[in-house]
Amino acid sequence: MTALVSATVEAAALRHNLAVVRRLAPNSRVMAVIKANAYGHGLVAVARALDGADAFAVARLEEGVSLRQAGISAPIVLLEGVFDAEQLEAAARFGFELVVHIPEQIEFLRHAPGGATFRIWLKLDSGMNRLGLKGPQFAAAAAALASLACVRQPIRLFTHLACADEPRLAATTEQLERFGAATRGMTGERSVANSAGLLGFPGAQADWVRPGLLLYGVSPLPGSTGSDHGLRPAMTLRSRIIAVKDVAIGEQVGYGGRWTAQRATRLAIAAVGYGDGYPRSLGSGAPVLVNGVRAALAGRVSMDMIGIDVTDLDAPARGDAVILWGEGLPVEEIARRSGTIPYELLCGISQRVAVELR
């Protein structure tokens, strides 16, 4: 039985995008960011498809454990580190690399289980004011970590860019300067660039790049799509038409009657809605592909359904394919129209959507 709504993920596209990243940053190793279920693409399946990555990064311990339990043996970095002794013990057992961004995490390491050793990424807060230690605290943490027997030396050094998707702002240059100053004289490998940094700031590539979005074939830069950067969208969200009907001039469609037929209209109802993660904020006029041809939403997005004006299409019928984003319809365009970012749409695919890697 084929699912009515599915997100198909192309392994070949993921690998192609990794190759593009390698061409963009030929002197860096690639830490593939696959947190949040690989941005909705399927954590383990994506890790398997991207087995050419040099390391994986996840946000939470549980994500790393799922990868190890599925047999993924590549280095795995926990981007937020651990938050108690029990998590540190699990990190040792599963061989995770740890980010340190608060002094308490150094205290956990002081009491690490005997014999355990850890690869540490010390995080500088270079201006984002989210995670990381600022200048003097960063230097003190580096010194403290250098003295711990359980820490593999030299420690690695990293920071995260807040505004790399807006290259005209001075913020990124300032962050890079602060990172350069704080790490001067330290020998450990460095990592700075996320997807936007990788595209817009070649000087930020350092020893490791940390792309997420680019690997999924999507552009982090406003006004461009992945294909502008030679990428291929990995995910295509698909549904099918479940009913076709005629609507007379003046009749309204959907909740709130927000769309009124201005002509005799052929309306297709497709099985997808906000219950699948398709945004309700998309109003009438938003594009979908019906049998590969653009058509427009008519009326509000419901929990399980959308209406599509297919009057100008060639005999659309029940069972026909509808693409919500992906192949031929960039998720960047849908995100823009719904007032959000592609990250949120991709991560927001709901549990009832079958995610299939092929």
Ligand X SMILES: Cc1ncc(COP(=O)(O)O)c(C=O)c1O
Binding site for ligand X (CB under 6 A): 33, 79, 160, 194-196, 210-213, 220
Kindly tell me which of 205 and 311 has the beta carbon lying closer to ligand X: 205
Q: Which amino acid is at 234?
A: A
Query: Shortest gap between Cβ of 174 and ligand X (angstroms)?
Result: 18
Query: Shortest gap between Cβ of 124 and ligand X (angstroms)?
Result: 12
Kindly tell me which of 34 and 247 has the beta carbon lying closer to ligand X: 34
358 burial type by CB count under 10 A (0-12 exposed, 13-18 middle, 19+ buried) = exposed
The alpha carbon torsion through 275, 217, 337, 291 (nearest 10 deg) reads: -70
β-pair partners for 297:
308
Query: Shortest gap between Cβ of 79 and ligand X (angstroms)?
Result: 5
The alpha carbon torsion through 220, 223, 229, 230 (nearest 10 deg) reads: 110
Of residues 35, 216, 274, 343, which has the active-site annotation? 35
Kindly tell me which of 99 and 288 has the beta carbon lying closer to ligand X: 99
Q: Is 255 a catalytic residue?
A: yes
Query: Shortest gap between Cβ of 214 and ligand X (angstroms)?
Result: 6
List b or e across 273-305, with b for residues whose CB sees 16 or more CB atoms inside 10 angstroms.
bbbbbbbeebebebbbbbbeeebbbbbbbbebb
Q: Is 256 left (phi over 0), alpha (psi -120 to 50) or beta?
A: left
**Per-residue DSSP letter, 155:** P
Q: Is 343 a catalytic residue?
A: no
For residue 58, CA distances in Å to 44, 72, 242 come to 12, 13, 38
Tokens of 178: 């602060």
Q: Which amino acid is at 296?
A: A
Query: Shortest gap between Cβ of 209 and ligand X (angstroms)?
Result: 9
155 burial type by CB count under 10 A (0-12 exposed, 13-18 middle, 19+ buried) = buried
Tokens of 32: 């593939």
Helix (H, G, I), strand (E, B) or coil at 226: helix
Tokens of 121: 């990424």
Kindly tell me which of 113 and 203 has the beta carbon lying closer to ligand X: 203
Kindly tell me which of 55 and 267 has the beta carbon lying closer to ligand X: 55
β-pair partners for 321:
240
Cis before residue 154, ω within 30 degrees of 0?
A: yes
Q: Which residue has its beta carbon closest to ligand X? A: 212
Query: Shortest gap between Cβ of 192 and ligand X (angstroms)?
Result: 9
Of residues 245, 255, 274, 278, which has the active-site annotation? 255
Kindly tell me which of 123 and 238 has the beta carbon lying closer to ligand X: 123
Active site residues: 35, 255
